[in-house]
Homo-oligomer: A and B are copies of this chain.
Amino acid sequence: MSAKILEGPAVATAINEAMAAKVEQLKNQGISPTLGILRVGERPDDVSYEKGATKRAEGIGLDVEKILLDADATQDQIIDAVRGVNANDAISGLLMFRPLPKGIDEDLICNTLDVRKDVDSMTEKSLTSVFTGNGDGFAPCTAQACIEILDYYDIPIEGKNVVVVGRSLVIGKPVAMMLLSRNATVTIAHSRTKNLPEITKRADIVIACVGRAQMLDGSYFSAGQTVIDVGINFNDEGKMVGDVNFDEAAEIVDAITPVPRGVGSVTTSVLCKHVVEAADAAKGK
């Protein structure tokens, strides 16, 4: 294997350290950046993610305020909870677990949140800001994690040809827009793209976010490339794998993120970074 491994945890640590310093500064100014967490019910995935996020947030000095509703909470109760967050100056930004229970108008609830507290990019306003670059709201954490990894490892974006494989609203489209705003030339490819390996082979950077286990094998890559693998899938043996066949790709390309210990390790740190930025932006308001 010749490729440099782009380790997510190293990137996360660097973000965490920078944020811990920033949190200390804010605390010296009497501000306590606080992550609000809104959870409806007790879904094990949510509870597990919440534990990890809480640990990371507290590790960099953030306060965490949990708002827990019963699984049978009504839509009005959830809306009230979000409005409560909007009105509560002590909460800098909100993480709300989704999907919400059936029968709840999730879009309505997401868009109730004040965009300035939308650290997990669940409002339309945040999505629009990624498209327009108008500076409202925060980018989706996973999309930003890809950029953070490239920046940490000093991999230039400007003027590079980037192929994004995947066009979801959560990752493909936003990461394409973010790369575009950094002056990359961006190709958005997808499951209906013809001759995909020919297209990915020409890229300087490949972002794989198509959601198919190890779909991009060695035939998709060429020497000198950087590969960011956003996929989180499980193979037939139940092992977590990315959208890229890591072993094959790593023989060919210059640099690649592993799965696990890649993009997924960085997202919670990006979330916390957004909380700190939200607290900073709210300063003196």
Contacts and interface: CB of A to CB of B under 8 A. Distances in A.
Interface string A189-212: 110111000010000000000000
A188 B186 contact: yes
A153 B177 CA distance: 30
A58 interface: no
A92 B158 CA distance: 44
A199 B202 CA distance: 10
Contacts of A97: none
Interface string A107-151: 000000000000000001101100110000000000000000000
A138 B35 CA distance: 37
Contacts of A1: none
Given A127-B128, A131-B173, A187 B186 contact: yes
Contacts of A177: 173
Given A185-B187, A185-B199, A187-B187, A158 B192 contact: yes
Nearest to A202: B202
A194 B185 contact: yes
A159 B193 contact: yes
Contacts of A194: 159, 185
A90 interface: no
- Chief secondary structure at chain A's binding surface: mixed
Interface of A: 124-125, 127-128, 131-132, 158-159, 161, 167, 169, 173, 176-177, 180, 183, 185-190, 192-194, 199
Nearest to A160: B194
Nearest to A179: B188
A199 B160 CA distance: 12
Contacts of A131: 127-128, 131, 169, 173
28 contacts: A124-B124, A124-B125, A124-B128, A124-B132, A127-B128, A127-B131, A128-B128, A128-B131, A131-B131, A131-B169, A131-B173, A132-B169, A158-B192, A159-B192, A159-B193, A159-B194, A167-B180, A173-B177, A180-B188, A183-B190, A183-B192, A185-B187, A185-B190, A185-B193, A185-B194, A185-B199, A187-B187, A187-B188
Contacts of A124: 124-125, 128, 132
A221 to B, nearest CB: 18
A177 to B, nearest CB: 8
A198 to B, nearest CB: 10
A185 B189 contact: yes
A131 B172 CA distance: 11
